[in-house]
Amino acid sequence: MEQLVHFFKDYILPQWKHNRRSITAVSAAIYVVYTVYQKINRPPKRLRHIPYINGIDTLTSFFKKIPLDKVTDEVALPLVLETDHGLYSRITPAGWQVVISDPAIAKEYLFDANTFPKVPLNKHFEGTVIGRFIIGPNILFLSGQHWKNQRKIANPAFHRSMPLQVFGKLTDKLFSVMDQSNGKSIDAYDLMERWTLDAIGNASFGFDFGAVTDSNNEWVHRYNDVVEATIDPLYAFLPVLERKYLDWFPNRKKIHDELSVFLDMIQHIIDEKRRKLADPSRDRSQETKKEKDLLQMMMESGEDENGAVLTDEELKSNMCVFFFAGHDTTTSALSFAIYYLAKHPEMQERAREEAQRVLGNEPRNIRPTVEQSREMTYIEQIIKEVLRIAGPADSLISRKANKDTELGGVFIPKGTDVTLSIYNLQRNPRVWNNPEKFDPERFAPGGEAEGKDANAWIPFSSGSRICIGMNFSLSEQRFLLPMLLRKYKWSLPKDSIHHEKIVIELGLGVISPIDFNVVFERLY
């Protein structure tokens, strides 16, 4: 009970004091405390045979923004190592869930979509920023035949040739911005965020945010404000505040208005593309796949599915989730790669020599082709090791057991939410030798990874629900990193908070570095 009092005093009450409009707010705060005590501190009785993280501790870590690696090292991994199966449970905004951190159990879970369909979160987050922006009739959250239909339509769009010309033009702009730093430290995460934002905008639906050259434009601010709002723990754990009491929270209401503008922009683009596709004078023979964005290809793919076209709402929902999942995760992956190469200058130099060998030593920007990317095997090892030790996705979207079943020999009752912690699995000392060490040689021929269970390295998930944007993200990384290595040497500034280890935070399922400044030195 003492924990509960401290939690109310330190985290709940300040939130309500900041936002209160009437005595009703105080009453609501009391209700929140009661709810915490009754439902959040311990899992339901049917799950108490599985180790669990105290609910108050979980909420405290959310509100205090305790770094994910600290929570993992001090709380989660000890529970994982407590039993042979490594399962544990924890509280989330949608309720209690069981967490998997073992590759063999991951396989049981990932390859049995019939027993473990995706958790329908639409109703829980209906009317919230998260619900309106990400959770909807899209390929990430749907299950069953509806998901299969969308996946079939979306597959051709994601298996086309990558838009390397778009990547190249954006990289030239990025380098022009970086050159203006004149050897001073700059926010590397911000740079990667702007580059990936423009890349996904152009490739998804032909919209150029102009983020690389102008970080202060209205669209960049609008998008970033919406994304930041998705991770506010108060509204994540209490979605009722947005559904019924939004007028009490003018700042939150403003975010909803910004999101409406963003969604209207996507709808306008959909309307324009539908008009052009329906134009009887359209000459398809003059169009090539390389020139088409994802939205157009999904529209056209749907035309070939016996009339099973995607609705405007489905297209808009998919564009949002492609945007969110594809932008933030790749931003973090590139940032973590920059960090580990800054911490290991000998690896950075070896990678640079490989990029120069394949792309040449001319003092100009040279864009790698797909074939040249395949030749840069050491850079590929770096990318894979970064995705292991600091994979951007913390956990997968929950799935719900639709019958009594078992995982790793442990009883899982019907109705239980289950997830896989990619972060725990890929840092599990039972799975990887010295998992805290950054070692690209794990992925060399004959290296440690070669003999592992296929589900020991799954930064993009696995099975039928493997991330549809995997190739797009990897293409971005394989393209940009060699160009960065040829153009710059980089290091951490003397006052960096990351010298001992990378300091990270967890957003809406995405891990990212905090205050990540880097000094880039031009080589040409």
Binding residues: 467
Tens digit of pLDDT for each residue in 142-181? 888 889 889 888 888 887 778 999 999 999 999 999 999 8
User: What tens digit of pLDDT does each residue of 326-380 get?
Assistant: 888 999 999 999 999 999 999 999 999 999 999 999 999 999 999 999 999 999 9
Residue 63 is predicted with a pLDDT of 74
DSSP-assigned states of every residue in 174-230 = HHHHHHTTTT-EEEHHHHHHHHHHHHHHHHHHS----TTT-TTSHHHHHHHHHHHHT
Give 280's pLDDT tier (boundaries 50, 70, 90): confident
User: What CATH fold (topology level) applies to the domain 42-522?
Assistant: Cytochrome p450 (1.10.630)
- CA–CA–CA angle 40, 43, 47 (5° rounding): 165
Distance, CA of 326 to CA of 138 (rounded, Å): 14
So what's the pLDDT on residue 427?
A: 94
Q: What digits encode the pLDDT tens for the residues 424-451? A: 999 999 999 999 999 999 999 999 999 8
> 458 in helix, strand or coil?
coil
Residue stretches of the annotated binding site for heme:
467
- Using the predicted structure, report yes or no on whether residue 25 has a pLDDT greater than 60: no
Q: Report domain extents, the chain.
A: 1-41, 42-522
pLDDT score recorded for residue 177? 96
- Tell me: pLDDT of 82 over 90: yes
> Residues for the chain: how many in total?
524
Find the range with the poorest average confidence among 103-112, 374-383, 451-460, 501-510. 501-510
